[in-house]
Amino acid sequence: MTSGNKLAPKELYAMAFGLFLGLCILKFGNPVILDQKISTPASPAEYWSDFWPIHWANWIFLPLAAVGLLLFFNAPKESSPRRCPRRLLILPLLWLGWQWISAVRTVDAELTATTLWQFFGCVACYFIGAFLFRNPRALNLLLAGILAGFTICLIRSIHQRFEFPQDKKFLMEGQSMGWTNLPPQTLLELKRDQTIITTNGVDVANPAIVAKFAKGRVMGTLVYPNALAGLILLLFPVGLVLAFHAKRQLRPAVGGALLAITVGLSAASFFWSGSKFGWLIALALAGLCLFRLRWPVKLKILLLASVAVLGLGLFFIRFHTYFAHGAASAVARLDYWRAAVQTTRAHPMMGTGPGTFQRPYAQLKSPDAEMARLAHNDYLEQFSDSGIIGGVLYCAWIIAGIIYVGKNVWHTPNLEAFAIFLGLLAWFVQGLGEFGLYIPALAWTAFVLLGCALRFEKGADGRDKGSPPP
């Protein structure tokens, strides 16, 4: 327990862990299987602006996890909120154990070793959230660090929206002038980053980079735009609720500005990410929220229909060019998923090893399909990489966890608890079409929040004992 403003050890730990996850959002937003392709920063400017090698996250996380273990055994025990069902403690351990078993038969030991580190982090974050961040103050300190990183990520994405056209112009002008307008050091850095590539002995702007700049889709500090959309789906609901709570405690002008900035940054970044699936998820969750309102059923149905018509109408207006050109990314995903199913059939017991989807896909992909390193479906990839047992264990864990938390918070008046659940639901649904499980910035943040959410409990007064007061 704490007295006054003094922080207990677990609260200090929550603050440190939140800052670590905020750092992950800023620096470890790539899939772990790309670790070998990330260059080590060579200057202070590169440390600030570039991605960091992902294995660095493991070496920061390990001592943090060890401290958490010591706190769990040595810190004074708090009044215990609801105990987690055993299945929600056993399922993640069984899943992680099966990943190690599957690793024995992997087709690529290096990819699997990297992925096992990531999965260990997911499970460790889940248990840290469940056992160390039980009280409201610890949860809010955790969220403070996470949302700090989230805010910087959003600001970066807004900057990209105006930066990309200039970057494209810069590359086209440099290419037309044979790069004579660039200092030698700048040219070397652009080659190192693969922004400039050599084709038939000629240095040219990387067509993939030029296409990215032309599309103008922002990604903030993450690997690509859909990952940014996933982060917004995960954290915007709780960020909005906390901003609303802060508004009531600040001067009207300051509180209103804070709320407007929160909504404006998130909405603009989400819109400019261009995520089609993310848009549909956000629309579905907006409709879901209507069912919590204690309004007449007819009014709910009318509002739901209005949200659906307006949201889908804007969706088709926003993405009409995408559909006119054949919805290439959706077609590509169907090919990934087909290959994942075929791989599961060929290796039903152990799969091909955690993180190795790209190996069988290289043999199974359609001749005209682009190469993919991940299945763009976290659940199908579990079946492909670790067999039917691994896939079933992962799906059972996630579905059981979401249902358990949802039942606890559905009728709570505590908006913060419900907002965390809503973000988790959105992010895990996005896993049907993305690979967030393999990105530390996303997965570790989601699993620590899922662990925290296990403690949300509706008390006799209608308030969640395991969550902050409204």
Question: How far apart, in whole angstroms, are the C-alpha atoms of residue 193 and residue 465?
Answer: 49
**% the chain with pLDDT above 90:** 61
Amino acid 458: pLDDT = 64
Question: Could you state, in order of their start, the residue ranges of all structural domains in the chain?
Answer: 9-76+94-274+319-453
**359 vs 179, more confident:** 359
Q: What is the pLDDT of residues 96-109, one digit of tens each?
A: 999 999 999 999 99
What is the predicted pLDDT for the residue at 349? 95
Measured CA to CA, the distance from residue 327 to residue 65 in angstroms comes to 43
* pLDDT higher than threshold 90 for residue 279: yes
Residue 197: DSSP 8-state: E
pLDDT tens-place string over residues 57-74: 999 999 999 999 999 888
Note the pLDDT tens digit of each residue in 141-154.
999 999 999 999 99
User: Average pLDDT of the chain?
Assistant: 90
Rounded-to-10 torsion of CA 258, 17, 275, 302: -60
Give per-residue pLDDT as tens, 413-451: 889 999 999 999 999 999 999 999 999 999 999 999 999
CA 306 vs. chain centroid, Å, equals: 30
What average pLDDT score do residues 119-146 get?
Answer: 94
Region 81-86 average pLDDT: 73
- Residue 82 vs residue 275, higher pLDDT: 275
Is residue 372 a contact partner of residue 416, using CB atoms and an 8 Å limit? no
Other Cβ atoms within 10 Å of 454 Cβ, number: 25
Supply the pTM of this predicted model: 0.92
Least reliable range by pLDDT among 37-46, 390-399, 460-469: 460-469
Tokens (6 digits) for 186: 């700048």
What is the structure's pLDDT at 151?
Answer: 96
Please give the average per-residue pLDDT across 222-240, as a whole number.
96
- Please give the pLDDT value at position 110: 96
pLDDT, residue 78, reads 61
378-409 helix and 415-430 helix, angle to the nearest 10 degrees:
160
More confident residue, 105 or 185: 105
